[in-house]
Structure 1
């Protein structure tokens, strides 16, 4: 499966996928990296913010530091090797090429799991989780806790195709994931995800396929339509305050991409600095850190994720995923569900909300650390949560 530059742009064109499952490796042409470096060198900076800290967005000094490292020290080829260390594939489902990692455990009785990333993440967000799941004995686990892991790139993200028509939202994606697991030969499996990955996982569960026997989420879709009943518990009051703060000062990106994804895309596709700071702000706000995502994710890992968006030209198409689903469904699910609440997430899920939302809530836990990107921030914690959630289903 080959990549080549799109004439007239810096993005890449993927070889057309078929219904066969074709092996894939990232081999970005050097010309695309040269173009990125040229654009980084020609950045025109705004003036500095007029308030200290992050109140007006990414501070100029932090943006300069990120871009200087991106231009002078960052090596995409290293990031590419991180991704290419795992078996990757592309296959056409419902007319769209879907990219995914598929890593089978050496343990014969491993449980298949499909895990979905969100925005502004990618499969780079999930790769630290792979080895603890497929090889639990190397990470304080037992052979009986092993998983076969499937990690797809959402439509319009990473190395999945960009939809050319509307309609590729959460529910259609869930249908594609169901077909993907069938195509891989899995007749019994579980699912997990956070952010948009949670919405897709809920939609997959709502299809009520007998093959899907359980799910886990770190970000229940009910958080944006909370089942709060006054008088509120202290946990609920905290969560409602977090939700109000998000809506008041941290949700402009979602409103813009939900209403005008095409317009915001022009700046993001034309300027790597614009794209990088657009993503970096959310990594800073939503990780379990004092607005220092480099400290918990690693600067190279942060730039792997950002650079993937840039090289694949998926800033606009990923924004359209918001437009497709301005509100997330909260289906009444009839299967076992596990929920883990992470303390630095956008909203920390109260246990009572999980109990009201999921009739078959079989596992609930409050993690000691971690934010909106647990697979990226605290992969061993999330791996343990997935083991605990799905232990009874093996």
Structure 2
């Protein structure tokens, strides 16, 4: 390879989303040819029991055909998110003996603040890089959302890549490509951008793969709504003993609670009791993780349907989002779905004629943060039709088959025995109120596999926190990593980018 060819391969180029009109027309034709299934009538409180109901999907199909504007969404993302692409070479695997050169798409916004530290923002299935849209400005500029305490003025250089096969990143053709391969790609991207040391945030398992494989680069992790397994004596004797003591005292004695809280332990007992004698698939535990596993079991079979049917893909996304929506104790008048109907959309658009409602007030100063702050402040976030379809399009455009293969491999890797080994990288956790169930994983169960150094529990429900609760995520990221800095858990940060 000549020097010029090498420079071209290593180049970072700007990128703008632009989907061909021909592909958009094909999507419309497929929507017009949709045949919806017949379904049995169920009581309102059981509407979602068998999956996405026609009553939720059909209005969105009509809106997709007659009211949805991808070009407007595309222009908005291009305006809000500075996007780039570069090539990263992945190592050979057992199923693909030659290295691959993948074009990786990513968002990169540098902060103007001297104390900014590099933050690798990792999405997971079925989300995409657009998840960072609502937090990127406040993360790069602390003055856009005031706070106090540790990290109040902490700023970040934000890097949000698309997992290979998602969004506008090339898919790997190796069946072995999953969490570990993604961690290699993302770490290589950070090195390409000049960030030798960084911190990471994500709601999936990519951050753990980064921390296990590259502890000299990924210095700390913040996650939201993690799922842990119950401590076992063989895996971590100390963590096991702390859990048993906290359980015995019901976490009501501060010195003997070891980070556990009574509600988590109570929920744990309820879950165990309810699952006795039941098949795990139909147990009363939250469906979110169960659906992820179900979709990962036979990715190729599922891909034939979802790669050909945009409505099938929409139904899948609706189901995943809704599994975390409250049904047992609705906090709004919409008990059936966390999605706004087109009629409610018109009502919301009317409200937005008053932009003064969409700001966070602090004394006499106004801080613009989100175009839908009134809904973000509500206890239960609701999705507009446009938002649901934007997330669906980011799965539909590249085709969902690579993402499903990735999900299968990610599940296999995260259940390997080596995955649960202890990681010394400090972990911060933001826990959001569990939806559709009071049964949550006790956060300190993770102490057998992580150095849990910061925890904050929120009552607001959220499945994709950076989208549904961006204000809390921003403040938590500042406080978490600010605390790590002040306690000496992060060294040699910030790291300057070239």
State the partner residue of 2:29.
38
Q: Does 1:318 align with 2:408?
A: no
1:163 Cα deviation after fit: 1.4
Aligned to 1:8: none
**CA 1:173–1:382: 2 relative to 1, 3 Å:** same
Tell me if 1:226 matches 2:230: yes
Task: Quote how far apart the aligned CAs of 1:237 are.
Answer: 4.2
Match of 1:91 in 2: 86
Q: Deviations over 1:358-379 (max 9, x none)?
A: 23x2210101313221001000
1:22-37 matched pairs, under 5 angstroms = 22-37=13-28
CA distance in 2, matches of 1:153, 1:330: 26
Does 2:342 match 1:265?
no
1:11-63: CA deviation from partner (whole Å, max 9, x where unpaired): xxxxxx94321211101111111111111111111113332311111111211
Could you say what secondary structure the match of 2:41 adopts?
Answer: coil
1:118 offset after TM fit, Å? 1.3
Q: Is the 8 A contact 2:143 2:153 kept in 1?
A: no
Aligned residue runs from structure 1 range 235-250, under 5 A: 235-239=264-268, 247-248=281-282, 250=287
Q: CA deviation at 1:266?
A: 0.4
SS at match of 2:424: coil
CA shift, 1:99, in A, is 1.0
Q: Of 304, 307, 310, which aligns to 2:393?
A: 307
Which of 338, 357, 364 lines up with 1:292 in the alignment?
A: 338
Please report the TM-score for the alignment, with normalisation by the length of structure 1.
0.87
Contact preservation (8 Å) 1:155, 1:168:
no
1:256-294 deviation per Cα after TM superposition (whole angstroms, max 9, x unaligned): 433210110000011111111111111122256743144
- My pick for the range that moved more, 162-171 or 377-386, is 162-171
Aligned to 2:199: 190
Is contact 1:227–1:357 with CA below 8 Å preserved after alignment?
A: no
Give secondary structure in 2 for the equivalent of 1:151.
Answer: strand
Aligned 8 A contact 1:110 1:144 in 2: no
Provide the secondary structure at the position in 1 that maps to 2:402.
helix
1:203 corresponds to 2:209: yes
Structure 1 segments unaligned to the other structure (5+ residues): 1-16
Residue of structure 2 equivalent to 1:51: 42
Measured against aligned partners, the alpha-carbon deviations of 1:203-250 in whole angstroms (never above 9, x if no partner) come to 10112432322111113352xx23275557541341575696984263
SS in 1 for 2:169: coil
Alpha-carbon distance between aligned partners in 2 of 1:317 and 1:123, rounded to the nearest angstrom: 16
Q: Which runs of 4+ in 1 moved over 6 A?
A: none
Provide TM-score, normalisation by structure 2: 0.69
Q: CA deviation at 1:300?
A: 1.1
The 1-side partners of 2:71 and 2:271 are apart by 39
RMSD over aligned CA atoms reads 2.4
Give runs of aligned pairs for residues 141-160 of structure 1, distance below 5 A: 141=147, 144-160=153-169
Change (3 A) 1:221 1:343: closer
Deviation of the 1:129 alpha carbon: 1.3
Q: Distance in 2 between the 1:270 and 1:240 partners?
A: 43
**Corresponding residue pairs, total:** 371
Alpha-carbon distance in structure 2 between the residues aligned to 1:241 and 1:185: 49
- Provide the residue aligned with 1:76 in structure 2: 70
**Residues 288-317 of structure 1: CA distance to partner in whole angstroms, max 9, x if unpaired?**
67431445232211111101211221x111
For residue 367 of structure 1, what is the aligned residue in structure 2? 458
Per-residue deviation, residues 135-179 of structure 1 (Å, max 9, x unmatched) = 110111488311110011112111111112212110111111111
User: In the aligned structure 2, how far is the partner of 1:135 from the partner of 1:239?
Assistant: 40
Structure 1 counterpart of 2:253: none
Distance 1:366 1:349, change over 3 A: farther
Cα distance in 1 for partners of 2:134, 2:310 equals 25
State the SS of the aligned residue for 2:72: helix
Change (3 A) 1:390 1:242: farther
**Partner of residue 140 from structure 1, selected from 146, 149, 158:** 146
| 1:191/1:201 contact within 8 Å kept | yes
Q: Distance in 2 between the 1:43 and 1:240 partners?
A: 45
* Alignment match, 2:320: 282
- Name the larger-Rg structure: 2
Offset at 1:393?
3.9
Any stretches of 5+ residues in structure 2 without a counterpart? 1-7, 91-100, 233-242, 251-262, 341-380, 486-498
Per-residue displacement from partner, 1:71-94 (whole Å, max 9, x unpaired)?
Answer: 111111121123212111112212
Greater Cα shift, 205-214 or 332-341: 205-214
